[in-house]
Chain A
């Protein structure tokens, strides 16, 4: 009885993931579970990769796929001094240097296989099946090398610390690895977010293990891969500073190691630019990385500026500089409380909440936000699948669905409708959100039940919904509105005057859900400051 109760208390009890992984419960078999999860995660990524990518057959500018391919083309063919200057109107390089080195590496390897893929100028807009496969392959390799091991280590660390069963931690790892938004953006739309996010997870892992210098290095690398990692920087800064200054006492060696590793790794990252192009080259790269000349938001995105723009036309009343100032103030107001909390209470189990609060503030209020930027706050939120608190898990599951929903206009443009639907179903079904709909009308011998686990035949897992009635209503209402927006989008033409009406509704819903979640997240962060690890 005792043993059974122990199993049934697990957070994903009776979900399909629990069912699939329960044969691996005996100690001798646990070793397999990790491989099985990782390989299936890769198989799903390969299968999503069969679909189209952004800008397929869209001359002359194409999309992110072409941008990444073009960067491989410039980095492999041009000297470093020209990387940030070459033909800036056609997908000029505007990511930090590590992206450039990453492109250089995969560009060189790819040129070994076929020199035409990345030939200077002549390869523009090139798409062959083999090139597509190669590019998809590079994303999978990058993710398998960085993001996946990082996540698995994180879940194991939390699992051991909280005396979870190993299978419980593997289930959490699988839930995190099957997060649909990242899969669809990286392997469908085509980007390398998993590299940046993977390096951030490594930084978190190092903090968990108490290696502060290496954590700083990993975070700097993450920042040097994609500037979006800046959304996390206040929390890392607060945590590292607080740990070095007064937690528990002033620690000079730690302080120096963090400071030195940060400075040195930044220097190493930018030094090739300096050595081969002088200070001008470095300044140009920074100018390219932070494009303040662009608008306050791009396309339609579920953040404050885009949504409130409907009521109040910012661009007609304010100059670009004013808007920049406003966004800086708003963002600062948004993230400073999390910064202060993290500085005063630098606890390990607060890290995911702190990172989520801070990066969500950036997403909601900062300047020049893309819809894809939601992946940044989504990473620490998704890492909370390690929690055993039903309410936390429910909120995480909800916000993952909302985030996926806000990516819908983008994915629709990329022709990834099928992949969107399948991934939404799969990710929810795996964690047991659809267990309540299992059909009963089938003949008795086919009535779905557990495959191999010890769950009773008649037992149905409840979907993830918090206990609080307010949240329950909010979440269910938001799901209903999502369904309606999808219905309208599919079958009803928007009015002539407002061609983007459905997209705007999507953004408005996304913004309100993210905002509410953000407030809840702040409440949790505040609530957690004096709690111990086990109550997490």
Chain B
């Protein structure tokens, strides 16, 4: 008997046609890796969350959104505050004495607090594994291994590793709720879908960016019914609304919102002010790799050209009227002095010298415009694939054109896209562009040298595994149109060149003390990152939009 393991019986080997595909091993291994990251670097977000633990634990509910001892005030919706309150119940005596629950301007804490908070992230992330395991188990046999690849790519994502386990946030847990709602939509459980999405929204309002897509999809598939529609008069329009379904969905959504916001209904204006701080600048601390990064690059290039070759300015003013462009060279110089652009990039606001300033309103309309473009096809043919496509494009629109976008918001695009990518091989190119540029653009978040090799190698190995695995499981192109060979090669070149870019910027940083030129352009490294990555993200968006709008068979 003892010799059994040496020569396992044939029953030890399972039928290939009925794979079990469990995420268990992935969970164990990456949890062990995450434990090793506990003593590493964490950002100010760590103190933010510690402060919220303290606020929710020490203060009565109605003061939560008024407390402002620390600059890290509570600015997430109430569900997240309740979540913090629950976590704070588990704070042990040793951690409490360490200063975990003190309401102070700047947190004074030691290793016990770090250990406790890091462990809460790891524990709450179990949700992500559970949801994705359900996703695998519920999928049909034909697509199970493809779905397994998608699920494992999400749980092993370098994005979650960098943002949650080094930088410090709770995205794994929050995205688990979002994925649950996508999953519910896939299995036509629309009430559940509405419930989960509203819950996710009440945890973190950044999911509002995806709301148009959910709204239109649920409206079209659940509330409206065009099956017996014949237009005779406008009264018939009323008959296409399924009032019972509308009522059910509405009550689910409203009751979730009520549970979330009811305790704060008296202070609604204060809560809103905290949730939507419009006083912030166009770009976050440095540029997220979006459209505005390219816009500001164009502005810098134009400034340089006009200052070196003044006649260009004279030429341009013949076509463009002065409010849109500075009237004289003197005005340009004055502006440069005024804003001190070029060198001090790390400010809350960015001003443009040649190009017009960007108003919040403009970014809002641009975002909305592209989101509407993305959801219109869902109105016409509300398939699940269309829905996920529109989700991805909504994420794209908000990321590329939004106001004060964090580079971390790229996860809002990558996660929906992951659910789409296995359906057609032509989606692989935009997907690889997006994940490589997106994950690399997160590197500057972890600016300490000790994380350099770790983030680079982990992202690299993730890219190797999943570029290989996704190619194995994606279906061949469904349409007769062939892929454009040139673009594929170009994308590959772009992705490979990310590596020298990362090394080059790191070298630039390391040699900064030696050369005065490098000190003058203190933020050149960050700029290179955001510009190079924004090219990838933008081209991915263009590629996906093209397929979404002009390739019909893919979405059936």
Contact residues of A with B, CB < 8 Å? Answer: 1, 4-5, 7-9, 13-14, 16, 19-20, 23, 29, 32, 35-36, 39-40, 42-44, 46-52, 112-114, 129-130, 132-134, 136-137, 140, 390, 418-419, 422, 425-426, 429-430, 438, 445-452, 454-457, 459, 461-462, 467
Contact = CB atoms under 8 A, between A and B. Distances in A.
Contacts of B460: 39
Of all A-B residue pairs in the complex, the 3 with the closest CB atoms, nearest first, are: A448-B24, A47-B36, A133-B449
B12 A462 contact: no
B510 A438 contact: no
Interface of B: 2-8, 10-14, 16, 19-26, 28-29, 32-33, 35-40, 130, 133-134, 137, 145, 148, 152, 448-450, 452-454, 457-458, 460-461, 464-465, 468-469, 472, 510-511, 513
Nearest to B469: A23
B8 A449 contact: no
A50 B29 CA distance: 18
A426 to B, nearest CB: 5
Contacts of A390: 3, 5-6
Given A1-B10, A129-B450, A459-B11, A43 B20 contact: no
A422 B36 contact: yes
A422 B35 contact: yes
A446 B130 contact: yes
Given A4-B13, A113-B510, A448-B25, A39 B461 contact: yes
Interface of B is mostly: helix
Contacts of A19: 25
B448 A43 contact: no
A455 B145 CA distance: 15
Contact of B8 (A36, A114, A136, A459): A459
A43 B513 contact: no
A239 B145 CA distance: 51
B111 to A, nearest CB: 10
A456 B19 contact: no
Interface of A is mostly: helix
Contacts of A451: 21-26, 148, 152
Given A32-B464, A418-B35, 14 more contacts: A7-B13, A16-B25, A39-B461, A43-B461, A44-B33, A50-B40, A133-B449, A422-B32, A422-B35, A429-B29, A429-B32, A446-B24, A448-B24, A451-B24
A455 B12 contact: yes
B22 A5 contact: no
Given A390-B6, A425-B32, A456 B468 contact: no
B457 A452 contact: no
Given A32-B468, A44-B36, A445-B137, A426 B29 contact: yes
25 contacts: A5-B10, A8-B8, A8-B13, A32-B465, A32-B468, A39-B461, A43-B454, A43-B458, A46-B457, A50-B37, A50-B39, A133-B450, A136-B450, A140-B453, A418-B38, A422-B35, A429-B32, A438-B24, A451-B26, A452-B21, A452-B145, A456-B12, A456-B13, A457-B14, A462-B4
Given A32-B468, A419-B36, A452 B453 contact: no
Contacts of A419: 36
Nearest to B461: A39
B3 A467 contact: yes
A449 B39 contact: no
Nearest to B448: A129
Contacts of A7: 13
Contacts of B16: 454
Nearest to B137: A445
A446 B40 CA distance: 31
Contact of B7 (A8, A23, A136, A452): A8
A324 B273 CA distance: 79
B19 A452 contact: yes
A137 B451 CA distance: 11
Nearest to B12: A459
B464 A14 contact: no
A140 to B, nearest CB: 7
